[in-house]
Amino acid sequence: MTVRVQTADFDAGAEILGLRRGDPKIGAIASFIGLVRDVNDGESVKGMILEHYPGMTEKALEEIVSEARSRWEILDALVIHRVGPLLPTDQIVLVVVSSAHRGEAFAACEFIMDYLKTRAPFWKKEDTAQGSRWVDARASDDRSAGRWEQEAEVPAIRPSR
Amino acid sequence: MLKVLYFARLRESLGTSSEELELSPALRDVAGLMERLRSRGSPWSDELAPGRTVRVSVNLEMAEAATPLRDGDEVALFPPVTGG
């Protein structure tokens, strides 16, 4: 289980290879990459700065991964989240999960992203044509994270919503 | 002493990223800290008004109003998170 917060870009292919290399128990890998878009809430975005809380951010990510591990039969997991200045099309976050079967990998990967969005201390400040603005938290992200509370009793099933 | 950190929008609107405060009978939990900071007036009273959503952590764990504060604790105040 690895968690990294860094300014540098990442190579998803190399990271996935590093995670799966030489482990014949792995039958499935699910991965997610979040990217910077050039538009948000109706305004064009020229770039953004991602701030974090050194120490707490890494700890929060480790706790989220450990929670995923307690809910699903996963073999390994990796989270890389970038901070600092980013431009549209840049990669922001990578989540990779390995497991014996796809159900666990898909579910754990989505769970880690949903919890990361609402529990890991990162803040985005966007640079728009109207000046810079701090991004507001979304209620839809709280709902996405909240659905895992109800589904805690049926861990291997992927949510249908 | 208590170390208090401010992040993101709060750091900018309050104009500081960290400070140290002395614990006192009135300042021994998160609620007491918020009261103390609000008593400074604007912008503190606006940014930390009871209706505003401010997250608080103590020693890197999310905290609540009743979370006790002890000498040497690191407290952080920040807006709801927006990573990913």
Q: How confident is the model over B9-21, as a mean pLDDT? A: 98
In a domain, A98, yes or no: yes
The residues spanned by each domain of chain B are 2-78
Angle at A121 between CA A118 and CA A122, to 5 degrees: 95
Q: What is the pLDDT of residues A119-152, one digit of tens each?
A: 999 999 999 988 999 999 888 999 999 999 876 5
The answer to whether residues B75 and B30 touch, using CB atoms and an 8 Å cutoff, is yes
In a domain, A89, yes or no: yes
- Domain boundaries, position A82: 2-152
Label residues A45-54 b or e (16+ Cβ within 10 Å = b): bebbbbbbbe
In a domain, A160, yes or no: no
Confidence tier at A118 by pLDDT (50, 70, 90): very high
Average pLDDT of chain B? Answer: 96
Exposure of A138 by Cβ count < 10 A (0-12 exposed, 13-18 middle, 19+ buried)?
Answer: middle
Q: What is the pLDDT of residues B32-63, one digit of tens each?
A: 999 999 999 999 999 999 889 999 999 999 99
Query: Considering only residues 20 to 39 of chain B, which have any Cβ-Cβ distance to chain A shorter than 8 Å?
Result: none
Please judge whether B76 and A117 are an interchain contact, meaning their C-beta atoms are less than 8 angstroms apart: no
Q: How confident is the model over A5-10, as a mean pLDDT? A: 98
Strands (E), chain A: 2-6, 28-35, 39-40, 43-52, 74-82, 84-86, 91-99, 122-128, 131-134
Q: What CATH number does the domain containing A50 carry?
A: 3.90.1170.40
User: Does CATH number 3.10.20.30 belong to domain B2-78?
Assistant: yes
Q: What is the pLDDT of residues A65-96, one digit of tens each?
A: 999 999 999 999 999 999 999 999 999 999 99
Q: How many CA atoms lie within 13 A of A69 on its CB side?
A: 13
A158 pLDDT more than 80: no
Residue closest to A10 by CA, chosen among A73, A103, A71, A96: A96
Give the C-alpha separation, A72 to A28, whole Å: 13
Domains: count for chain A: 1
The answer to whether residues A145 and A120 touch, using CB atoms and an 8 Å cutoff, is no
Please judge whether A52 and B60 are an interchain contact, meaning their C-beta atoms are less than 8 angstroms apart: no
Q: Which of A113, A134, A141 comes nearest B8 by C-beta?
A: A134
Assembly ipTM: 0.94
Share of chain B above pLDDT 70, in %: 100
pTM of the predicted structure, to 2 decimals: 0.92
**Tokens (6 digits) for A101:** 């079967």
From the CA atom positions of chain B, what is the Rg in Å? 12
User: What pLDDT sits at residue B63?
Assistant: 96
User: What pLDDT sits at residue A99?
Assistant: 98
